[in-house]
Structure formats: structure tokens, C-alpha cells
């Protein structure tokens, strides 16, 4: 009896391996990642308390529906300086070529009192500079 159970289990496992598992049909594949300039930044409160959280929204323009927000490069400079670069992805889909704006956000939670300087990459060597005073 044990032999038949082992044979049955082996047949099920073998069947699972032989079954096609192509789950990416109809999905687009990311072809590349590149910097995308941050066109504008919205900070609700330019003064906040230490250990609280504030969302900082960034807005970027994308030229195609095949492009979207990928992530941030968030670099700590000195104790109170942050440099933020945004990245987009490009897929291999058949997408409309129309401009659209995408909003993304960073949740900022300061751990010490001071005046924080944020520099958001705006193309080439240009930066949007914002400050937040933390009390």
C-alpha cells in the first residue's frame, strides 16, 4: 500500500513539473530603468515635530503609458541633507504615446531636531531645494 501511495505522489509531482506555468502571458516586461526628473515637490508642512511622519509628494512627467514610477534614490548627505533622485521604468508593451503626470511620495520621519534640506533632481545638474524645520 505504501508503494502505491509513493507512486501516486510521484505522479502528481511529475505532473506539476510537466505542466506549463507560463504566467507572464499578457504582461509587459521591464526593459530599462532610467532617471526621470522631478518637476515639482509638495510639502504640506515646512515645520514638524521630531519622530512624526510627513509625506512628501513628487510629480514627474512621463511621455508614454509604457513608463511609470520605479523608485527613489534617497541619499543622506550630512546629518540634515537629503538628495532625492526619481527613477522610471520602461516596458516593452504597445503603449500610447501621451504625456501624463505621476505622483509619488516619500515618508519623512526625522530623528533629530534641525533644519533639513532636500534636493530633488530636476534634470542635468538642476535641483529643486526644499527645507523642513524640525522642532
The domain spanning residue 112 has which CATH number?
2.60.40
Total structural domains in the chain? 1
State the residue range of the domain holding 129.
28-134
Whether 65 maps to a domain, the answer reads yes
pLDDT at 4 exceeding the cut of 80: no
Nearest to residue 48, comparing CAs of 128, 129, 130? 130
pLDDT grade, residue 79 (50/70/90)?
Answer: confident
Band of residue 5 on the pLDDT scale cut at 50, 70, 90: low
Beta strands 40-43 and 54-62, pairing class: antiparallel
Q: What is the pTM of this model?
A: 0.78
Answer yes or no: is 7 within a domain. no
The answer as to whether 60 is a domain residue is yes
Which grid cell sits at 108? 519623512
C-alpha cell at 41: 515637490
Find all residues with CB under 8 Å of 134, minimum gap 6, and list them.
47, 48, 49, 50, 110, 112, 113, 114, 115, 116
Q: Flag whether pLDDT at 3 surpasses 70.
A: no
Inter-residue contact 36 to 68 (CB < 8 Å):
no
Amino acid at each position: 500500500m505504501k508503494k502505491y501511495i509513493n507512486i501516486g505522489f510521484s505522479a502528481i509531482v511529475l505532473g506539476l513539473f510537466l505542466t506549463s506555468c507560463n504566467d507572464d502571458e499578457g504582461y509587459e516586461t521591464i526593459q530599462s530603468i532610467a532617471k526621470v526628473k522631478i518637476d515639482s515637490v509638495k510639502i504640506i508642512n515646512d515645520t514638524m515635530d521630531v519622530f512624526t511622519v510627513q509625506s512628501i509628494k513628487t510629480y514627474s512627467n512621463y511621455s508614454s503609458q509604457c513608463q511609470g514610477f520605479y523608485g527613489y534614490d534617497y541619499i543622506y548627505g550630512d546629518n540634515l541633507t537629503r538628495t532625492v533622485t526619481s527613477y522610471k521604468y520602461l516596458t516593452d508593451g504597445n503603449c500610447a504615446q501621451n504625456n501624463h503626470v505621476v505622483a509619488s511620495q516619500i515618508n519623512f520621519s526625522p530623528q533629530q531636531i534641525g533644519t533639513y534640506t532636500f534636493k530633488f533632481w530636476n534634470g542635468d545638474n538642476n535641483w529643486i531645494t526644499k527645507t523642513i524645520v524640525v522642532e
